[in-house]
Structure 1
Amino acid sequence: MSNKTYADLLCETSELIVEATQADEAVFEAGAAERQALQPLLSELRIRYTVLLARLDTVYDQMLQPQKRLIVKRLLEACMGRLIEIKHDLVEINMSDYTYDDDESLRKLEVTPFEAEPIVPQYFIREREQEVESRRQFILDTLTKLGYEPPKPQPLVLTEQQAVLIIQSHERARQGRLRGQFMKEIRLLKEKGRDQKGEMTASAATAIQRVWRGFIARRETRRRKREEQLLIGMELPPYTESKELKRAEEVKDYRRKLQKTREEEYKKALDTIEESLRSKNGTKINEQIGDELRRWITEYYDRTERLPEFPSEEGGGSRAMYSRQGTGMDSELSKMSPVSSKDSKRSKESKDKKSSKNGDNNKPKEEPEDLNIYQCTSSVYLQDIVNANEEFEDIWKFKDDIDNPHERYYKDMIEREKIVKIEQEIRNIVDEMMRNELELLQAAFNRDMASKGKKVKKQQKKVRRGGKKSKKKKEKDLTPDRTTESLFEELVSNGIIKPYPIVKIDDFIGEKGYLGSHFRNEGQDPSPCLGDVRQLIKEYCILPLGSEHVRTNAPLIRSVLISGPSGSGKKMLVHAICSETGAMLFDLTPANIVGKYPGKSGLIMLIHLVIKVSRLLQPSVIWMDDADRPFVKKIPKTDKTDPKRLKKDLVKIIKGIYPEDRVIFVGTSKTPWEAEQKLLFQCYNKFIHIPRADYGSISLMWRSRLHKAGALSPRLDLSCLSRVSDSYTIGTLLAALNDVLTTKRRLQLRIRALTAQEVAVQLSYREPVYAEQDAAADAWWYKTPMEKKRQKIMQRMQELQQEAEEKAAAK
C-alpha cells in the first residue's frame, strides 16, 4: 500500500473521530440518566473507539512521516484510554465485569462481534524490540552460566528390531505395488484381445474419452464448489500462506525499516537545527528579551512610581508579569512566533472548554438517591482526542505532500517549534537575571526613600504553595549500592525472574457471548464465554500495561485473580500478557520460593528486590500460581512449600503498586473457594473466572487446530466431535489431539482421514470437569465483591418497584 493510502485512511479516521467525540460529549451533557438508557449509548461508544483503535494502529504501524506519526500516536493512546474509561463505566452500570455488545449498535455501525473486540497495538512490542530481546537473551545467558539448558527435541532412536519391522513393511508394500502394476498390464492385454475379436462394440479410444471427460467434469465441479464455499466462508482457505499475503508482509516489513530510517533522520535534524538556530539567534533573542524587559520595567515605574513584582518561573515568569500588571504590553517575540501564540491560544480555549464542561469534577460526587440513575465519570482523555484531532485538521489534513513524496520531515515545522523552545529557555535565564537586578534596584529604592524620611512597606515574601502532597511514601532502599544489572542477575539466578514462551492473546481461542445483551434486557444473568474472557484480559491487563500514558491516567487495577480448572488456559493468559507487552515475569509461587531468601530478613529482602526491580524493568508482571494457598486455613502436613510465608506481605506488595508503575500482580488458582475469602478479596481488585468451554468455542478450536494440522476433512464430523468434547477443558482437548496426531498418523492423513472416534478414545482416558467442580466455582463466584454488590442493588431495585406497584394499586 502507498503513502497516499494511509494518508486517506487517516483522514477518514479523523472524520470518524469527530463523530465519536460529538456522541461522547452528548452523553456528558445529558448528565445523570437511567442505567437502561445509558447502557446502549456507552456500548455504541465503546464499539466506535474500538474501531478507531484498530484504524489508528494500522496507520501508526505503516506511516512514514515522523512528525505526523507523533499526532497519530497521541490519538491512538487517547482513544485507548477513553476505551478503558468507557469499559469501567459499563462495569458500574451493569454491575458485571463482562460487557456484551448490543445487536443494534453492531448493526448500526456495521461491525462484527470480533471487530468490536479491542486489538493490541503493535507498537507495544515493535518500539521496544531490541530492549525486549536483550533482556530475554540476558536471562538465557544467565541460566546457561548456571548450567541450565533449554529442552531440546528428542531425536528419533529406533532399536534393531523396530528398524527391521519398518524395512519389512516397506518391502512388502513395494512388492505389492509391483504385483498390482503387473496384474494391470495383464488385464489390459486381455481387454485388447477381446476388442480385436469383436466381443466389445466400443473402441478403446471412446472408453478412454468417456472416462477422461467424466473425470474432468467431476474435478471442475469440485473446484467450483470449493471456490463457492470459500467465498461464503463455509470452508477455510489453505493454511499455507499465499504469495499475495507473503508479498504484503514483505512490503509491510520494508515500510517498517524505512520508518526507522525516517525516524533517525528526524531525531538528528532536531539536534542539528536546534544548534544552528541557537548559534544564529541566541544572542539576538537574549538582547531583545533583556531590552524589552528593561523598557517595560521603566514604563511601569514611570506610571506607578514603584517597581513591579517579578513572578517566579513556576508562576509564568515575565510572560505572566505582562498580563498580570494590566499594562496591555506583550512580548514581541511571542508575537513573532506563530506556533507559540497558536498553541497558547488553543490550550487556553481547550482549558476553558474543559473547565466549563467538567466544572463540577472537583466537587464531591453526590450519590443519586435513585439506584436506577447513573452519571458517567469525567474523562481524562476526551479533550486530548479533540485537541489532537483539531491539530491534525489544522496542520496535516489539507497539507499538500506533493513536494515531499518520500515522507521526510518538514524543516520549517521543526524551526518553528525549536525557536519557541529556545526563546523560552533564554527567557528563563533572562528572567532570573532580571529578578536579581530588581532586588538590587528595590534595595537602592528603599535606601533612597529611607534617606528622605519616608516609610517603605516591606514586601512580604510569598510563600510558595505546593500542590497536594503525594500519598506515595518514600521507601527505604535496602540495596543503594547495587546496579540494576546485578539485581536482575540475582533474581534470575534464584529463579524469581523466569523466561516465558511467546504467546499471542488471540491464540486463546474462544467464541464470544452473542446473547448476553438479550439475556440482560430480559433480566437474566448471562454466562460468559471464552471470547469474553480474552477481551477482559485485554482491557484490564494488556492495554493499560502497554502504554505509560494510559496506565498513569486510566482507572487503576493493581491485581487480577484468574481462576479456572486445570487446562483452562490460566498460565497461557499470564504468558500472553507478558508477550503482548514485553513485560518481565516475576514468579512468586509458594513452591518456587521454597528455600530462597530464608528468615524474616530474607523475606524482606525478597519483597524489596521484587518491588524495586519490577519498577526498574517495567512493564512487569508479578505472578503467583496457586494464589489461594497463602490464605488456606489448614495446610496439610505433607505440604512443605510454606505457602503462608507471603500471607501478610501480599497486601503490602499490591498496595505498593502506584499509577505511574506499569506493574500488575496476577494470581492464578484452581480452587479459590478453599481460601479465606475476606483476605483473598482484600488482595485482588478484579476476579476473572474461566468458565467451561461452550459448544461454539470447542467447535471453533477444533476447526482451527485441525485446519492448522492439515487434518480437517469433510469426512470428519466436527459437530459430533464438539458434542463429545463437552465438559473437557481446551487444554485437555489439545493434549488428546497431540496424542492422536503422531508423526505416523500425520503421514497417513492423505489416505485415511481423521475420525471423531480416534479423538474420543483418547478423551476417554482423561479427566473431565465434573459437575461438583462447576457447582463449587459458581457458589464461589456469587460471593465475589462485584457479584454481591450487583445482587444487593438488584434486590433493592426490586423492593422499590414493588413499593411503587403497591402505591399505584392503593390509589
Structure 2
Amino acid sequence: MPFDVNHKLWIATSKDIGQLLKKQMRLKTIDPPEEKALSFKILCELYVLYVELVNKLTYIYFNTFQVQKRVIVRTLVENATQQLMLLKEELKEIELSEYVYMDRVLISRKLTPRDLMVWRSPQFLYRRPLDIQNILSKNKIYMNDEEKEATAAEDWIKVTKAVKLIQAHERARRARLYKANIKYDKKKYLEVQQRKKVNYMFTFKPNQAMSIPVKRTVFNADFIKAEDSCADLRNKDDNIEDVIDEQERINNLRNNAARVIQSWWRTYKTKKIYKIKKQFKKELLGIKKIRQLKKPNQFANSVLEMYKNEKLKQQLDEDFAKLIMDERTRLLQIRTPWMMEDISDHIRAWFEEFYDKTGNFHPYPDPVKNGTVLVVIDETMSPMEFQESLNKKPMTKEEKQKLKDKLKAEKKKKRDKLKQQKIKDAKRRKKLKDAGIIDIGYIVSSSKPIVKIEQTMKQFSIDWRNVDEYLNKNHDPIKEWVTEEQMEVIHQELRQLVDEYMRIEYELLREAWAKDKKVPYKALKVKNAKVKKSKKKRRKPFDPTEDRTLDSLYNELKDDGVIEIVSHKDFDEFIADFNFLADDTRDKEDNLTTVGPAKGDIKMVIQESMMGMSEFDISKPKSILLVGPLNSGKKLLCNIIASELDAVFINISPEKTVKYVDDLNMFLHKVMKVAKAFQPTILYIEEAHRVFAKKIPPEEVDLKPTAIASAIAKKILKPIKKTDKIVLLGTSMMPWAAKGTLKKNFKKIILIPKCDYGTSFLIWLDLMTENAPDDLETYTYSALARVLQAYNSGDITSNIARTLNIERKMRLKFEALEPKEFLEYFLSENNPPMFPPELKVMEKFTKWFGKSNKFEKMRRVLMAIKEAKQKKKK
C-alpha cells in the first residue's frame, strides 16, 4: 500500500476510533435494557464496528514502517481484536450457539456476512525468525553478509561445473558429427572444410588512416545456389532428380499443412477476440451478464512480500536501536559532568533551604525509596512539616505498633468493602441475566482492552500533536523523543551515583552541626532495596536431542513423511453459502434462532479460532476437532487453515506413528521440539476417533491407533503454552465410536452442517463456469442444486471433475450437456451407486454434537424448561 493511502486511512481510522470511544462512554451511563433483543442489537452494532476497526488497523499496521508509530498501531490492533473476541463471546452466550446471526444490523450498514470475516492473511501471520524461515524455504530469503558471500561462492562453483558440463557435451557432439561425416564422405567433407578456412593477416592499427577508401555494402541476397563444384556436376547422377522431386513434394505438403493450421488458429483467435469484445459491450450496456461466482478481491500481498516488508522493518528496528545507542553514548560523553553537577547543586540547595528555615537537615531519602528523586517530585516534608515533626515527642514502640495496626485495619476494611461490592454487583448481574437482562454498561466499563485503547489514543494525541507524519516518507524515527527518553534514563542512573557521594557530604554536615550544638553524633542507617533471593533454578528437562540441530530434526521428520507439504488453499476455495434465514426465524419468546447453521457459517467459527495463532496476544483453543460425514470438506478445511497460517503441517495420524510405537516418547519429543521452534504449527490427526476408539476394527489392528491416546494430553497439549502458536487439529466421521476422552482432549468441536441449497448452487455454478464459462453460461444450475442438494460438497466436486472432463468439454459445441449425465455418475458409474448421507446419520452427528458443545447443552435445557411450561398451561 502506498504511503499516501496508508496515511489517509490512518487519519480516517483515528476519527472512527474517537467516535467509537464516545459511543462506548454513552453506553457506560445507560441503564440495562429490559428487552434482551435490544441488548443483543446494541452488542451486534458494537461487534460490527470493531470488525471494521480491526480490518482497517491490520492494513495500517502491515504497512506502517516508522518504528515509534508502529508500537502505537500494534497496541491498538491487539486490544481491538481482544475486545472483538470478548464481544463475540457475549453474543454467543446470548444466542446460546457458536453461530451468531446479526443480519438486521448488517442490512442497516449495507454489509454482508462475508464482511464479518476478520482474518486477513498475511496481516495476522505470526512472524517467524528469519533463520527459522530460511530453514523452511528452499532458497534463503534473507542472509547476512557472510551467508551472501558463502552463497555466492557456492553459486560460482555450480556455474563453473555447469559450464564445464556443457563444454564437454558440445565437444562430444562435434566429435560425433566429425566421425559421421568422415564415415559418410571423407573427401567431400574435407574439401568443404578447406573452403571454409581462409587464412589472412590483419594489420590495421588504431588511429591509422586507410590507404584505400572502402565503401562497406551489406548484401542481403544469396547468389550462391549450390556448393557443388564443376567436377561434381559432371559426375552427377540423373536419378538424384527423382529424389529431389520427392523431397520438394514432401516439403510442399508440410508447408500447406502449416498454412492450414495457421489459418484455422488465426480464425479461432479472431473469433475469440470478437466474442470477448461483444460480451464486454453487452455487459457495458447492461444487456447480458455472465453467471459466475464473483469472489471478493483478496489482499494481494503474498507471504513472500510479507517477509520482504518484515526485512525492511527489521532494518528500521536495527537503525533505531543504533540511534538509541549512539544518542546514549553522545549524552554520556557530553552531558554527564554537567548533569552530575546540576544534581549535586540541587541537593546542596535543598540542604541549605532546610538549614536556613529549621536549623537542621531533612533526613536523606533512602535508596529503597529511589533516593533524592523524592526531592524532585516534591514528596519530602516541607520545612514547616519537618519543624513540627521535630517538636513532637518520639513515638514509643507500642504507639508505632498501634498506628501500624490501625493502618493495616483500614486497608483491610477497604479491601473487604471492595470485595463485598464486587460480590453484590455479581449477584445483581446474575439476577438480571436470569431475568434476560444484559448489563451493557458493565460489559463496556469493565473491559480492559477498551481502557487500553482510550489511554493509547489520549497519549497519541498529546505526543503527536506537533508532528507532521506526511513529511516523514522515509520512516525516520523522531530523534527528539529518543534524546528525552535517554536523558531520563541517564538522569536516573546518575542520580543513584550522585546520591552515594552526596550522602557522605550530608553526614559531614550533620557531624559539624552536632559539634556546633554539642550533641552526640550518630550516623543515619541507610535502607537499601532488598535484593530478591534468586529461587532455586529449576533443572532443565532432559533433552535427548540436544546435540542435534533444528535443521536435521526438521529434515528427518520431513523425510519420514511426518511433516507434509500442503498445497496452497484459501477460504474462497471452500465454496459455501451463509444462512440468511436464521435471523428472521427467531422465537418470539426467547429471541433464539430456530434454524441451524449453513455450511458457510463454519468459516466464521474457524477464523475466530485462528485469531489466536496470529502474532497478537489473543486467547485460542489448544485443540480443534472437525466432525462431519465423508466428503464434507474436513480435510480441505485443515489444508486451508495450514495454508492461511503458513504453518508447518505435522501429521501424527496412526498411519504415520505406527513405526514409532516402540519409541513413542522420543518421537513425540522430536515433534514438539520442531513444533515449538517452527511456529505456527498444525499437529494433524486424521479420523481422530480411531485414536480413542472403544473397539479397534480388525483391519486397523496393525496400525495400533490407540498407542498415542494416553500421550496426547501429557506430551502434546500440556507443553503447549498460551503464547505458543500451536494447535492440535483433528477430523472425525464417526465420533460416537470413540471414548469420552475424545471430547476432553479436543477443547473445541465444530460440526460441519449438511449441504444446503445455497451452498450446492454456488458449487455447481462456480466449478462448471470455471471449466466451461462460454458453453455453460445459461445452464440450469438452480435445478441441479435443488435435485442434488443432499449430496456432500466433495461428491459434487468429484462428479463435475469426472463428468465434465476434457473430452466432454470438447463436445460441448455440438452436443449439449444434459443433467442426466451427472445423475448417471452417481447412479451408474459408481459401484455401488452413490447416495447422499441418510437423515439418520446426520441426526446421529447432531445428537453427539449436542452432548459435546456447552451452548447446545444450555439450549437443550432451556427448550426442556419451555416445553415443561407449555405442558403445564395445557
TM-score between the two structures when normalised by the length of structure 2: 0.67
Q: CA deviation at 1:27?
A: 4.2
- The residue that corresponds to 1:544 in the other structure is 612
- The residue that corresponds to 1:780 in the other structure is 848
Kindly indicate whether the alpha-carbon contact (under 8 Å) linking 1:285 and 1:423 is maintained by their aligned counterparts in 2. no
1:447–1:360 distance in 2 versus 1, CA, 3 Å: same
User: Aligned partners of 1:654, 1:59: CA distance in 2, in Å?
Assistant: 35
Q: CA deviation at 1:595?
A: 1.8
SS in 2 for 1:562: strand
Letter aligned with residue 7 of structure 1: H
Kindly indicate whether the alpha-carbon contact (under 8 Å) linking 2:365 and 2:371 is maintained by their aligned counterparts in 1. no
Kindly indicate whether the alpha-carbon contact (under 8 Å) linking 1:317 and 1:428 is maintained by their aligned counterparts in 2. no
User: Aligned partners of 1:440, 1:595: CA distance in 2, in Å?
Assistant: 74
1:516–1:438 distance in 2 versus 1, CA, 3 Å: farther
- The residue that corresponds to 1:681 in the other structure is 743
User: Aligned partners of 2:568, 2:608: CA distance in 1, in Å?
Assistant: 20
Q: 1:274 aligns with which of 302, 320, 324?
A: 324
Q: 1:641 aligns with which of 703, 706, 710?
A: 703
Q: 1:691 aligns with which of 742, 745, 753?
A: 753
User: Aligned partners of 1:410, 1:689: CA distance in 2, in Å?
Assistant: 50
Q: 2:426 aligns with which of 352, 357, 366?
A: 366
User: Aligned partners of 2:682, 2:382: CA distance in 1, in Å?
Assistant: 55
- The residue that corresponds to 1:513 in the other structure is 579
1:383 and 2:451 correspond: yes
Letter aligned with residue 366 of structure 2: E
Letter aligned with residue 310 of structure 1: P
User: Aligned partners of 2:491, 2:9: CA distance in 1, in Å?
Assistant: 41
Kindly indicate whether the alpha-carbon contact (under 8 Å) linking 2:50 and 2:84 is maintained by their aligned counterparts in 1. yes
Kindly indicate whether the alpha-carbon contact (under 8 Å) linking 2:692 and 2:706 is maintained by their aligned counterparts in 1. yes
1:114 and 2:183 correspond: no
Cα-to-partner distance string for 1:487-513 (whole Å, 9 max, x where unaligned): 333433443332222111232111111
Letter aligned with residue 409 of structure 1: H
1:801–1:637 distance in 2 versus 1, CA, 3 Å: closer
Letter aligned with residue 694 of structure 2: K
Larger displacement relative to structure 2 (491-500 or 23-32) = 23-32
- The residue that corresponds to 1:291 in the other structure is 341
Cα-to-partner distance string for 1:734-787 (whole Å, 9 max, x where unaligned): 111111232222333445454433222223333422222101101111111414
SS in 2 for 1:631: coil
User: Aligned partners of 2:305, 2:734: CA distance in 1, in Å?
Assistant: 49
SS in 2 for 1:83: helix
1:360–1:686 distance in 2 versus 1, CA, 3 Å: farther
1:98–1:325 distance in 2 versus 1, CA, 3 Å: same
Kindly indicate whether the alpha-carbon contact (under 8 Å) linking 1:716 and 1:753 is maintained by their aligned counterparts in 2. no
Cα-to-partner distance string for 1:189-245 (whole Å, 9 max, x where unaligned): xxxxxxxxxxxxxxxxxxxxxxxxxxxxx99997665445589x7734999x9xxx9
Letter aligned with residue 664 of structure 1: V
Kindly indicate whether the alpha-carbon contact (under 8 Å) linking 1:64 and 1:255 is maintained by their aligned counterparts in 2. no
Q: CA deviation at 1:258?
A: 9.8
1:429–1:397 distance in 2 versus 1, CA, 3 Å: closer
Cα-to-partner distance string for 1:65-123 (whole Å, 9 max, x where unaligned): 666555444433333232222112222222211111231x1122222222232232433
Q: CA deviation at 1:392?
A: 5.3
Kindly indicate whether the alpha-carbon contact (under 8 Å) linking 1:82 and 1:381 is maintained by their aligned counterparts in 2. yes
- The residue that corresponds to 2:640 in the other structure is 576
Letter aligned with residue 638 of structure 1: E
- The residue that corresponds to 1:631 in the other structure is 692
- The residue that corresponds to 2:85 in the other structure is 84
Q: CA deviation at 1:431?
A: 4.9
Q: CA deviation at 1:133?
A: 6.0
Kindly indicate whether the alpha-carbon contact (under 8 Å) linking 1:781 and 1:787 is maintained by their aligned counterparts in 2. no
User: Aligned partners of 2:580, 2:22: CA distance in 1, in Å?
Assistant: 28
User: Aligned partners of 1:257, 1:493: CA distance in 2, in Å?
Assistant: 26
1:325 and 2:379 correspond: yes
Q: 2:862 aligns with which of 780, 794, 804?
A: 794
Larger displacement relative to structure 2 (499-508 or 752-761) = 752-761
1:722–1:630 distance in 2 versus 1, CA, 3 Å: same
1:662 and 2:716 correspond: no
User: Aligned partners of 1:76, 1:717: CA distance in 2, in Å?
Assistant: 46
- The residue that corresponds to 1:530 in the other structure is 599
User: Aligned partners of 1:305, 1:9: CA distance in 2, in Å?
Assistant: 56
1:12–1:476 distance in 2 versus 1, CA, 3 Å: same
User: Aligned partners of 2:777, 2:620: CA distance in 1, in Å?
Assistant: 49
1:426–1:754 distance in 2 versus 1, CA, 3 Å: farther
1:748–1:108 distance in 2 versus 1, CA, 3 Å: same
Larger displacement relative to structure 2 (518-527 or 559-568) = 518-527
1:759 and 2:822 correspond: yes
- The residue that corresponds to 2:788 in the other structure is 725
Kindly indicate whether the alpha-carbon contact (under 8 Å) linking 2:511 and 2:521 is maintained by their aligned counterparts in 1. no
1:770 and 2:843 correspond: no
User: Aligned partners of 1:456, 1:799: CA distance in 2, in Å?
Assistant: 83
1:361–1:116 distance in 2 versus 1, CA, 3 Å: farther
Q: CA deviation at 1:295?
A: 3.9
- The residue that corresponds to 2:144 in the other structure is none
1:611 and 2:672 correspond: yes
Kindly indicate whether the alpha-carbon contact (under 8 Å) linking 2:650 and 2:681 is maintained by their aligned counterparts in 1. yes
Kindly indicate whether the alpha-carbon contact (under 8 Å) linking 1:32 and 1:374 is maintained by their aligned counterparts in 2. yes
> Which structure is larger by alpha-carbon Rg, 1 or 2?
2
Mapping of residues 218-229 of structure 1, within 5 Å: 225-227=282-284
1:51 and 2:52 correspond: yes
User: Aligned partners of 2:475, 2:279: CA distance in 1, in Å?
Assistant: 54
- The residue that corresponds to 1:147 in the other structure is none
- The residue that corresponds to 2:809 in the other structure is 746
Kindly indicate whether the alpha-carbon contact (under 8 Å) linking 2:65 and 2:316 is maintained by their aligned counterparts in 1. no
1:622–1:443 distance in 2 versus 1, CA, 3 Å: farther
- The residue that corresponds to 1:193 in the other structure is none
Letter aligned with residue 12 of structure 2: E
Larger displacement relative to structure 2 (655-664 or 448-457) = 448-457
* Cα RMSD for the two superposed structures: 4.7
- The residue that corresponds to 1:701 in the other structure is 763
Letter aligned with residue 278 of structure 1: R
User: Aligned partners of 1:485, 1:260: CA distance in 2, in Å?
Assistant: 22
Cα-to-partner distance string for 1:673-706 (whole Å, 9 max, x where unaligned): 22123x2222222111101111101111222222
Mapping of residues 165-204 of structure 1, within 5 Å: none
User: Aligned partners of 2:631, 2:491: CA distance in 1, in Å?
Assistant: 64
Kindly indicate whether the alpha-carbon contact (under 8 Å) linking 2:368 and 2:529 is maintained by their aligned counterparts in 1. no
Kindly indicate whether the alpha-carbon contact (under 8 Å) linking 1:562 and 1:669 is maintained by their aligned counterparts in 2. yes
1:767–1:793 distance in 2 versus 1, CA, 3 Å: closer
SS in 1 for 2:323: helix
1:224–1:300 distance in 2 versus 1, CA, 3 Å: same
User: Aligned partners of 2:276, 2:138: CA distance in 1, in Å?
Assistant: 56
1:709–1:604 distance in 2 versus 1, CA, 3 Å: same
Identity %: 21
Kindly indicate whether the alpha-carbon contact (under 8 Å) linking 2:654 and 2:703 is maintained by their aligned counterparts in 1. yes
1:402–1:630 distance in 2 versus 1, CA, 3 Å: closer
Kindly indicate whether the alpha-carbon contact (under 8 Å) linking 1:681 and 1:785 is maintained by their aligned counterparts in 2. no
User: Aligned partners of 1:482, 1:762: CA distance in 2, in Å?
Assistant: 53
SS in 2 for 1:100: coil
Q: CA deviation at 1:528?
A: 0.9
- The residue that corresponds to 1:586 in the other structure is 650
Q: CA deviation at 1:326?
A: 3.4
User: Aligned partners of 1:556, 1:33: CA distance in 2, in Å?
Assistant: 31
Kindly indicate whether the alpha-carbon contact (under 8 Å) linking 1:66 and 1:408 is maintained by their aligned counterparts in 2. no
Letter aligned with residue 56 of structure 1: L
Cα-to-partner distance string for 1:443-489 (whole Å, 9 max, x where unaligned): 9999999997566775666657899x9xx998554544443333333
**Residue correspondences, number:** 679
User: Aligned partners of 1:729, 1:130: CA distance in 2, in Å?
Assistant: 42
1:403–1:590 distance in 2 versus 1, CA, 3 Å: closer
Q: CA deviation at 1:533?
A: 0.3
Kindly indicate whether the alpha-carbon contact (under 8 Å) linking 1:561 and 1:687 is maintained by their aligned counterparts in 2. yes
- The residue that corresponds to 1:155 in the other structure is none
